[in-house]
Structure 1
Amino acid sequence: MSKSVDTGLGERRVLEPLYEHGQHVLPIYAAGERVAASSASVEEVKKRGGVRLRPALGRYDKQQRAAAQPQAYGWIKAIYPEAIEFTAMRQELEGMPMIQAAIGLLVGGGGAAIGAWAMTWPFIYSIDGLGYQAFFFIGGLLMAIFSLLFLLYMVGTPIRLLWGGPRDLPVIFDRAHRKVYVMQREVAPGLWGLLKPWPVKACAYDWELVQAEHHTEVAPNPGTGARRIHRLAFTVRRSAEDPTLIGHFQVALGLALTEPMVAPLWEHIRRFMEERGPHLPHPSEPLDERSDDRPSWWQAAGRTGPFGPRYGWWWKEHPGITLFYHLIGIPGLALFIAGWIRMNGNPIAFMALLAPYIPLSINWGLATGLWLVAHTSRVYEWPQAVRQAIGEPVRKGAGW
């Protein structure tokens, strides 16, 4: 349960109660629906042959240094006398889930259009043969239905994630009590999961039962087709005697990490918890800062790319990505116009629209996500038990 508090910045909810270690099991583990790669050693997973792993993927030892220089990369939002708090989402990356929606619109919408065309073209061109017509009608209908369901899932999931969701899902490492406090949102998977509750809960895990790991996966990217995502992930065992997994979480956003960044990020956490290392890797390192304003959609577009109100600023501050967007978009739009005129409206010309679609979907997709978060998200506060354990913050990033 959570208690709502009205503030000038919108609704804030205090999470209660705090689930102590073992009191709450994430549904995917409680239902036995997942055998995580992290539940076994890298060697055991390789023997199964069902998961492809890069050599860098593996577990970290709390007693061994993983990197020469620890790093936090600006992901720490607050420091306490004996604790550090990481944010789960940097403001400039909050709209990233909407990239999935852009892919869904492209693939799902295109598939539905092709399916509809397959259903009707034998009738439009007066092609005889009842069996021939029935084959294309049924095939096109099935393709259109599948594509629409795919579109619904790909677009609905990121919207559900961002609309009315938590502003942040932070993680606190408390070395005084050897605890890790985690805010988690339980996302129901699948298309029907969009209609189920997605509750936010606060859990306390024992540090000794938390295992740090380097996870990686390949994810679709509208710009390059695919990219490899690296994560600093943590899995949680039930007890010292029982290795059954009861939960997992991650620090920082995988989309913002590269392979060489994972080990230094873990090394900072490890030194803080195991060797009483400093709260920040470098005393001058800034904390994560955010703005609590509520931009219009057009203002958000200017923050996420050049196709908005800060067109000149993007050319000045980020000329590389701005030039890249234009090299993709403008020639593609020109090819579309030329193809449309030359081929008298032939649908094949629409393929050239992929070029301008890529930069626009990234820029405006991110803007849409940023706008949704700014106007609809909720701020969740830690339970009283956590605030009593860690004390008042010594320093917080602006906006937090």
Structure 2
Amino acid sequence: MVTKDKQNREADVVSRYSKKRSASEAATTFSLVKKTYPDAVELTGTPPGTRGMLLLVACFFVFIAAISANQIAENVLVHEMRRVSHIITSIGYLAFIVLSIYLTAFCVRLELFKPEDEPIIFDRKNRKIYRLFMDSDSSWKGILRPWPVRVAEHDWDLAEAEHHVSVNANTATISRVHALIFQMRKSRASAEIVDGFAVGSSLQLGELTVPAVWEYIRRFMEENGDHLPNSESVIEMKKPASLLDSILAVGLYGENFRKWWRSERALTILALIFSPILYPVLTLLGLFVWLGYKTSKPIVWPEEIKRKIGNPLQ
């Protein structure tokens, strides 16, 4: 019998990759590799440009809660709940407030007081995958409890890589979100999935980059491929030294503005036109990036894993 969860998972899968067959002519790290070892590579789980975004989303939910609270106050103080419609709409707005509080709290928990990174190590010598992650709990009780940091070890031979696509639609646009997902089987004899995780950010990966990133991993693990193909380099996971550095890094200020002006002049002019809206949002994002780094916890891999992969090359 196929469960509903499995049906949903099947509907999202557009490709299942073979470890023995090429999935793309090109292979790229897509700026995900942060460290290399003699026979292993460490990929970042928090790609540059993704930190702080959830706190920005949380602001939207706070805005929704504020509007809903204002509508309830108007129904109580102005209309004095004279009609059934006032009572019904107030209950609806109250539901919006409760949902917004939950989503805001969840976004805050996902961004603050988390590990500096949630990296994944692919170890071809021992045919293992190691990952360090925060074990989040999305229940109401879970949001109020500490979230432990865990380390998982998986057999490469039990990993199944999949290309997932989900469709986001609204009244104006339809967009497709692509993700590279690893599903871990229980054993060689069982197809039961016991764990799963994503590589890279679905905000950055696309239709062509998902198979190219998988192809890089596949070649490295199966064909003794290069640590860094096509003259690519490891990314520098550098913390901003101050709040000002965080704001300058995400906003169209200084060097960022000069780069955009040289390469994307039309978009830069458009950004200047909408600067009364854009710049406050980017400044707020810079603040959230700084808060994320300021409250983050250092990464500590277990000594057993360090012994297996050896000292980093770079």
Instruction: Say whether the fold is shared (TM-score over 0.5).
Output: yes
Instruction: Give the deviation of 1:143 after TM superposition.
Output: 2.8
1:202-221 mapped onto 2 (5 Å cutoff): 202-218=151-167
Is it true that 1:178 corresponds to 2:135 in the alignment?
Answer: no
Q: Is the 8 A contact 2:130 2:152 kept in 1?
A: yes
Match of 2:19 in 1: 62
Deviations 1:291-333 (A, max 9, x none): 234322x442222123xxx2x5443222445433344455xxx
Is it true that 1:300 corresponds to 2:266 in the alignment?
Answer: no
Instruction: Give the deviation of 1:366 after TM superposition.
Output: 2.5
Deviations 1:168-209 (A, max 9, x none): 011011111110111122211144431133211111100110
CA distance in 2, matches of 1:140, 1:152: 18
- What is the percent sequence identity of the aligned residues? 28
Unmatched runs of 5 consecutive residues or more in structure 1:
1-32, 40-44, 46-50, 124-131, 331-355, 396-400
User: Do the aligned partners of residues 136 and 247 (structure 1) sit closer, same or farther apart at CA in structure 2, a change above 3 Å counting?
Assistant: same
Match of 2:259 in 1: 317
CA distance in 2, matches of 1:140, 1:83: 57
Q: Is the 8 A contact 1:102 1:361 kept in 2?
A: no
CA distance in 2, matches of 1:84, 1:38: 32
Amino acid at match of 1:325: A
More moved, 162-171 vs 112-121: 112-121
Amino acid at match of 1:245: I
User: Do the aligned partners of residues 119 and 227 (structure 1) sit closer, same or farther apart at CA in structure 2, a change above 3 Å counting?
Assistant: farther
Match of 1:267 in 2: 215
Larger Rg: 1
CA distance in 2, matches of 1:165, 1:324: 36
- CA root-mean-square deviation: 2.6
Match of 1:389 in 2: 308
1:3-42 mapped onto 2 (5 Å cutoff): 35-36=5-6
Unmatched runs of 5 consecutive residues or more in structure 2:
none
Amino acid at match of 2:303: Q
Q: Is the 8 A contact 1:294 1:375 kept in 2?
A: no
Is it true that 1:244 corresponds to 2:192 in the alignment?
Answer: yes
CA distance in 1, matches of 2:274, 2:240: 32
User: Do the aligned partners of residues 377 and 270 (structure 1) sit closer, same or farther apart at CA in structure 2, a change above 3 Å counting?
Assistant: same
Count of aligned pairs between the two proteins: 307
- Partner of 1:230: helix, strand, or coil? strand
Instruction: Give the deviation of 1:227 after TM superposition.
Output: 4.1
Match of 1:145 in 2: 94
- Partner of 1:268: helix, strand, or coil? helix
Deviations 1:232-276 (A, max 9, x none): 110101101122111111211111111111000000000111111
User: Do the aligned partners of residues 194 and 364 (structure 1) sit closer, same or farther apart at CA in structure 2, a change above 3 Å counting?
Assistant: farther
- Partner of 2:187: helix, strand, or coil? coil
User: Do the aligned partners of residues 106 and 246 (structure 1) sit closer, same or farther apart at CA in structure 2, a change above 3 Å counting?
Assistant: same
CA distance in 2, matches of 1:98, 1:268: 32
Amino acid at match of 1:315: F
TM-score of the aligned structures, taking structure 1 as reference length: 0.70
